[in-house]
Chain A
Amino acid sequence: MADILLVLDTGTGFWNPVAWILGAAVAGAIALLLYALGERGYKEGTPQEEPFLSGNPEPGGGLLHVRAGNLYWGFLDAMGGYYERLVSLHTGDLHDYVLWYMGISALFLVAVVVFR
């Protein structure tokens, strides 16, 4: 009964979420143990808590937050050629939407008729 409830048969293997959670809990306990053995000189409420920005004062007004537009710049730049083509297909023009729909309908019809 426990197997039926907990073990998912995937055809070529299986997956037991409860065993995974137990494993994660053990790994977490080990990590906590290592953490507890670490630096003991930390004191709350002291300047130790403040970020060190090469000696410069911490900027206010949310300037420390890295905004979404700055994330994955490298990935998007490296994939520039791909995105140039892909984004240009998304014209926002309803005529294009209809053309794609009609085109795929026609393509599927040809495929069904040809590959009998």
Chain B
Amino acid sequence: MIPQFVVEHSPALMVVVPLLAAFVAPFSGKVSHAARAVLVGGAMGITSLLALVLASDVYAHGTRIYVFGAGSAALAVPPDSGGIPVRIVFAVDQMGALMLVIAAVSSLSVIVYSLASERGHSGLGNFYTLFLLMVTGILGMVSTGDVFNFFVFLEILSIASAGLVAFRIDGGPAVEAAIKYFVLSTLGAFAILIAIGIYYGEYNALNMALIAQRMQFTLLDKVALALFVAALAMKCGAVPMHFWTPDAYSMAPSSVTALLVVASQASLYGLFRVVFSLYGVVLNAACVGWFVIVLGVLSMVVGVTMAIPQKNVKRLMAYHAISQTGYMLLGVGVGLAVLGNRPFLEAFGYMAMEGGLFHIINHAMYKGLLFLTAGAIFYRVGTYDLNRMGGLGHSMKWTMVFFIIGALAIAGIPPFNGFASKLMIYESVFAFNPALSVIAMVVSILTLASFVKVFHSIFMGPVLPEYRDVEEVPLPMLAGMGILALVVVFFGLFPSLVVDTLVAPAAHALADRGMYIAAVLSGGA
């Protein structure tokens, strides 16, 4: 049904379509609002479709290599290049495909939502330009097989994100949040650029697979590893480098915040790609694994405890995003810590990684949903202050239902998707270290307590006089939330389907460094 040409060139097209649409968006707005809506909605729909087509192709046939400027993937390493892949190469394995699925579903829901939530605001041409550039950056980061292109896409993402964080200027705080985000992102990107320079100086290569093949783990490689891991851990909001997260998440428009969650996860993907695919068993997996685990535990505990006293619903949710990132770091960190120990890896390492990766896709769905519900509340009542809310369950019933689904999922309550991934993490991490599992469970209880407070504050109680005329949000906003809510419920009811078809292949692809290197350097699966 999908033309072979489209399937063949989907890696390039899924980046080109949003990139071109980004620069056409301001002009389309000159025609009419409807023309712009058709353009950005259509472009995002096509991009999501392309990403899903590519992901399904990868799951069906194995790693896809796409070489820009060459007729076939077999020319990834040109015959006259001395064994070096000199062209720009996209390498999408099952891990990358999993991230493509996350980005496609989330971005599509968010754009549908934003067509209603942002209507009536000024500067929408610029808004959608930056929004589509964010999508371009995310898709590029999870598709590229080249460290320098990873840096380029990371920069596209960071610049567009900073612009959108500051987009609704709110007497200065939004601009301040954007500056903080931008300064830290630039420092992180600078560190990554130095690391890339180290690789290039040592191995004469920028291709990840070739660097991995030639990796010696010299002192310089350790410096590069530290620069890469710290920068990407900061970008994904790991404690104690998380301070920018509540600032940026709370000030950005809610549709942007939902996409910032996916952007953070693209950085998490980068972190995993570096430690597993670039270094793998070459590094001291136990040391780096424990470092990731400690970051994960700190993120879980500090994130959730800082969320409880918050009065601003978006700051509260931002701290929960940090806390949930901790689960992902914990699960994958345990897998990394036992990477060199085959029996442990088989016994619980893979399961921990699968739990961590499953939690990434679940988190993107329910946290995106929760941020969209926060945006829906703001759309009607004009405040994020929980102390000023109450009784909205009488008038915003659908938003309340979507909030309940998201809140129960993030708290790990069955049968929603968050429970399934957390259960996998609890049980596998318990086999590694019971104390870590107990901490994870306590954090879930605190998460539930925090969201009970939010639910009560926003939706329960009598109708407040100032909100007597509040109505439900427009249909496109409900549709955006509905897509994510459906995914949350479906993944909760059929977790094994998701784990077996999407997550387990991704975890094995991530752990199998040799397969990644062979696939890229031979031109595909």
Contact = CB atoms under 8 A, between A and B. Distances in A.
B180 interface: yes
A78 B77 CA distance: 63
The main secondary structure of chain B at its interface with chain A is helix
Contacts of A86: 302, 305-306
Contacts, number: 166
Contacts of A6: 494, 496
Interface string A77-93: 00100110011011010
The main secondary structure of chain A at its interface with chain B is helix
Interface in B187-245: 187-188, 191, 219, 222-223, 225-227, 229-231, 233-234, 240-241, 243-244
B465 interface: yes
A73 B148 CA distance: 50
Contacts of B179: 94
A100 B230 CA distance: 11
Contacts of A75: 308, 449
Interface string A59-77: 0111011111101100110
Nearest to B460: A65
A108 B230 contact: yes
Nearest to A108: B226
Given A94-B179, A104-B230, A17 B415 contact: yes
Contacts of B492: 17
B137 interface: no
A98 B184 CA distance: 7
B496 A8 contact: yes
A8 B495 contact: yes
Interface of A: 4-13, 15, 17-18, 20-21, 60-62, 64-69, 71-72, 75-76, 79, 82-83, 86-87, 89-90, 92, 94, 96-98, 100-101, 104-105, 108-109, 111-113, 115-116
Given A17-B492, A100-B240, 9 more contacts: A8-B495, A65-B391, A65-B460, A68-B457, A94-B184, A97-B241, A101-B184, A104-B230, A108-B230
Interface of B: 179-180, 183-184, 187-188, 191, 219, 222-223, 225-227, 229-231, 233-234, 240-241, 243-244, 247, 283-284, 286-288, 291, 302, 305-306, 308-309, 311, 347-348, 351, 386-387, 389-391, 414-415, 419-420, 423-424, 427-428, 430-431, 449, 453-454, 456-457, 460-462, 464-466, 492-497, 499-500
10 contacts: A5-B496, A15-B495, A62-B391, A65-B391, A71-B456, A83-B309, A87-B306, A109-B222, A112-B283, A115-B284
